[in-house]
Amino acid sequence: MSRSDHASGEMSTYRFPDEVAVDELLVRGPVDADIEEIAPAFRDPAVGGEASLPPVDADTLRVMLHDQLPGMRAQGLLAAYVIEDKQAGTLLGGTSLHHFDPLRDVVEIGYWLFLEARGRGVATRVVRALTEHALGGGIWRVEAHVRIGNTASERVLERLGFEREGVKRKYLRHGGGRVDATLFALLADDA
């Protein structure tokens, strides 16, 4: 894996991980057996609403899993993951790497947790592990967008050294409309 080379026009060879282990946590791609468990999060304003997840049902998620996610992953648009507690055998939430730019060596990270999984350092550990994977694979800049007012998500990024860079107006979908988001970024030089 390598960074892009502006002088020669070569693009980054970074590839999304298939899975990442973090202590007792396993970040892995979703499978059919996960759909019923994660589907309620997509319609819950306190979970999926904060993560700008589409408010779809389990049947739609199955279609997305099989018909949309493989192509999106191959194009660098979205690698979706679930976060599994291997010891308990339960799902705690989800995360993603998306909007990979192979010319600029940039990728964006997103994350969400079920309410009962919050406050245990899960998001911090998962975001750290995926960020380290990206930076170790040649990514120069990892970005995250957080709805203004979502202080828990902001704290995750701040703990990991992400810098607050500014506000993108009406960037995220939330509550049936568009809302402003704070752009956070961590550069390879920062890590």
Summarised one tens digit per residue, pLDDT across range 15-29 is 999 999 999 999 999
DSSP string covering 118-179, please?
A: TTSSHHHHHHHHHHHHHHHTT-SEEEEEEETT-HHHHHHHHHTTPEEEEEEEEEEEETTEEE
Assigned fold of 19-143:
Aminopeptidase (3.40.630)
Condensed to tens digits (0 to 9), the pLDDT of residues 136-189 reads 999 999 999 999 999 999 999 999 999 999 999 999 988 889 999 999 999 999
The percentage of residues in the chain with a pLDDT greater than 70, rounded to a whole number, is 99
Domain segments of the chain as ranges: 19-143
Nearest to 187 by CA among 143, 144, 156, 145: 143
